[in-house]
Amino acid sequence: MTALLVLIPAALFLGLLGLAAFLWALRSGQFDDLDGAAERILYDDDETECGPNADPRR
Amino acid sequence: MAEIAPEAEAYIRTDGQGISSLNLAVENLHCGGCVRRIEDTLAKKDAVTSARVNLTTRRLALHWQADQARAGDLLAAVSALGYRLVPFDPDLLANEAASEDRALLRAMAVAGFAAANVMLLSVAIWAGEASGDMGLALRDLLHWISALVALPAVAYAGRPFFRSALAALRQGMMNMDLPISLAVLLAAATSLFETINHGQHAYFDASVGLLFFLLIGRYLDRRARSRARSAAEQLLLLGAVAAQVVEASGMVRALPIGAVRAGMTVRVAPGDRVPVDGVVSFGQGEVDASLISGESEPCEIKVGDWLHAGTMNLSHPLQIEVASAGDDTLLAEIVRLTAAAEQGKAAYVRLADRAARIYAPAVHLLALGGFLGWWLLGGLAWQPALLIAVAVLIITCPCALGLAVPVVQVVASGLAMRRGVLVKAGDGFERLAEVDTLVFDKTGTLTHGRPELVNGDTIPAPVLAQAAGLAAGSRHPLCQALVRAAGPVPAQLQVQEHPGMGLQLDDMRLGNRDWCAVDEASPDDGNSELWFRQPDQAPVRFAFRDQLKADAVAVIGELQEAGWRIEIVSGDRAVVVEPLARQLKISNWRADCRPDQKVAYLRDLAATGCKVAMIGDGLNDAPALAAAHASLSPVRAADVAQAAADFVFQGETLAPVAMTLALARRVRRLILQNFSLALAYNLLAVPLALAGVVTPLFAAIAMSSSSLLVTLNALRLRGGRAS
């Protein structure tokens, strides 16, 4: 039963970690624009007009 | 479109580091591609430090180095892409509601965390009890750890319910939150008591689980409402334009409407709405007053004429001497009328609250009866008797009831949204389902709200094309209707436009009867007309009329057949309304109604016991929309009308109205079904709880399964028949 002394705190700690992550996300505005975030992922961030990695079709 | 720059200046804020910021509502924003285009365009400007578009709220937050660029230059680039930008003051929007949303979400997260972990410990306890080899010390330890997690969570996550229950109690009323709060608090308290006294049963899992389920329901309910609210806010934002004030020096300066005073002179560009009530001091032309009066035809105005705020300037720049601004305009008066009418509607009690009024006292009496019965008559000590009362409270606690309405509401709103109907009022479906009478406005609701050529068949095609060529360059609604009827034609560039008279190209004239020197009498059939005169030929008359929407006859016929009583109440003239009503086979119609008369008429109808749904689009309908039992408004409607309506539907057809009516009845049926399910569950579970056989395990299972059942039932809405 001594395993419980480790397992229960471990379970609670992991749970708290998840809760903290969610609260952080909420605070930092991750949930402010759900529709926009869903669409933004479809676009490349590093869209340079020219350079070695430029898309030749553009 | 008016240039954006001068308007925006009034809303710019500059901080200590020389960074200016401006918030704008973006019109015509549809998808991520739009977001991308706007952000990229702005990011290419050196002065811009950040530009972020929020697709959900359709707003742009722009920051830039104040000394390196002017707002007008930055925004012009976005306007050039075809997006209309309207600056606004973020402080004016209620941020309170948004922070309440977040508080609810935080409470839900905490309750979810606690529920999961306490349930984990509870499973260990149940397993230990079942196998029979768990020591008392271990059970106490697990209970204590549960208490450690559950008690702070209850204290934190329960606050929304405690506050609401307290508020209701202070007013001497009972609401659904009272049994919830009592159950949660009593369950937590007695569990703590049991834990201290090495008891067998602790209900920590039930108390946090209850909170978690109920918070989900509460959050869904809230989210549906805030989505509607942000849509309404957006509309009001787009309506809030600044006024272009002409100063004594001749300079034009943008002022927020609130700062405009009587006696100032305001300039109104063609295509803009008049921001104030006043007298025309310079210019002449035509205005569209349909928002105010419901009259479908443009009317001519000249110097000295009176204009109301909300009137659209159609043809030429006007200058208006302000007679009253802000709170004193007719527009503001209509908004006030609307707000007053909405107060009346607030008296409507939602189904869930009606259920709570019966439910809450019944539950409390049952629990109290259980406690007293077991204690005084059953011969139990007071602690186990109290535990039975708590079990009754937990098991009856309206987990299912708390989810029954919000889940149906959310599913139905999503369904309606995909079919182009925005649900703005949380209880809109409930009210619409009770309606037996539909009152339609005419202009813009039954009709397109714009004139269409009606005698195109009698006019030779070459003549039509020639006239359309003249008309192509004009913004006048009749000219545009002519061009629509003729199809694409090359515009004649040398056309001269004479305000209030007509158009001229060489010897050809298109315009009113005087302009074309017509003597022949024309029939007063309620149609608008344009005359076209070519040299050496008889003048040709083009007749225009605001046409019915394509499916109006079919939809109205269907609705009448289905047993709805249908009426028309219009602000337009009888000569226009009468033939239209005949065409739609609607025998009850009224014309020449002012906004307050519309409201009075609806009140009369309501007094005879009718539940009325108002369908209208004009500013003049807004008070009636708010006064009706339920209301719908097309998406092209005036901002105030959309803000007042419960539903806003898209498209140039009336089919969404019929769809929404049918959906509302299904929603009501599902809500009632869910209530019956919850009731049946209670009838089953309460006797068991009263008998004292409900253990924490039983409570946990019963609670989850009843919640699951109503949720699944609500999801049936997605399947089902489309109509």
* Residue B8, Cβ density class (10 Å: 0-12 exposed, 13-18 middle, ≥19 buried): buried
At residue B345, the pLDDT reads: 53
The per-residue pLDDT for range B268-326, each reduced to its tens digit, is 877 677 877 888 988 887 787 766 665 666 777 888 888 877 777 877 788 888 887 66
Of residues B314 and B592, more confidence is placed in B592
Taking CA–CA distances from A26, the nearest residue in chain B reads B102
**Torsion region of B229: left, alpha or beta (phi above 0 gives left; psi -120 to 50 gives alpha):** alpha
pLDDT (mean) for B506-511? 84
Count of A–B CB contacts within 8 Å? 54
A39 contact residues in B (CB cutoff 8 A): 31-33, 35, 55
At residue A52, the pLDDT reads: 47
Query: Taking CB atoms and an 8 Å limit, are B113 and A36 in contact across chains?
Result: no
DSSP letter at B376 equals I
- Calpha distance B510→B513 (Å, rounded): 9
The answer to whether A12 touches B146, Cβ cutoff 8 Å, is no
At residue B94, the pLDDT reads: 53
Reply yes or no on whether the pLDDT at A58 is more than 50: no
Reply yes or no on whether the pLDDT at B4 is more than 60: no
The answer to whether B415 touches B717, Cβ cutoff 8 Å, is yes
CA dihedral B267→B273→B274→B275, nearest 10 degrees, is -100
Question: Which residues in chain B are classed under CATH 3.30.70.100?
Answer: 1-92
Question: Which residues in chain B are classed under CATH 3.40.50.1000?
Answer: 408-448+549-667
The chain-wide mean pLDDT, for chain B, equals: 80
What is the predicted ipTM? 0.74
The per-residue pLDDT for range B633-643, each reduced to its tens digit, is 887 776 667 77
Specify the 3-state DSSP secondary structure of B547. strand
pTM: 0.69
DSSP B477-544: HHHHHHHHHH-S-PPPTT-EEETTTEEEETTEEEESTTTTT--S----SS-EEEEEE-TTS--EEEEE
Task: Categorize the per-residue pLDDT at B109 as very low, low, confident or very high, splitting at 50, 70 and 90.
Answer: very high
Task: Categorize the per-residue pLDDT at B613 as very low, low, confident or very high, splitting at 50, 70 and 90.
Answer: very high
B450-546 is classed CATH 3.40.1110.10 = yes
Reply yes or no on whether the pLDDT at B240 is more than 60: no
The per-residue pLDDT for range B659-673, each reduced to its tens digit, is 999 999 999 999 889
| Any A CB within 8 A of B523 CB | no
B1-92: CATH, from 3.90.550.10, 3.40.50.150, 3.30.70.100, 3.40.190.170 = 3.30.70.100
B327 is catalytic: no
Tokens 């560009």 sit on residue: B269
Reply yes or no on whether the pLDDT at B193 is more than 60: yes
The residues in B 44-83 lying below 8 A from A, measured between CB atoms, are: 53-57
At residue B265, the pLDDT reads: 87
Tokens of B659: 């769809």
CATH of domain B408-448+549-667: 3.40.50.1000
Query: How much of chain B exceeds pLDDT 70, in percent?
Result: 86
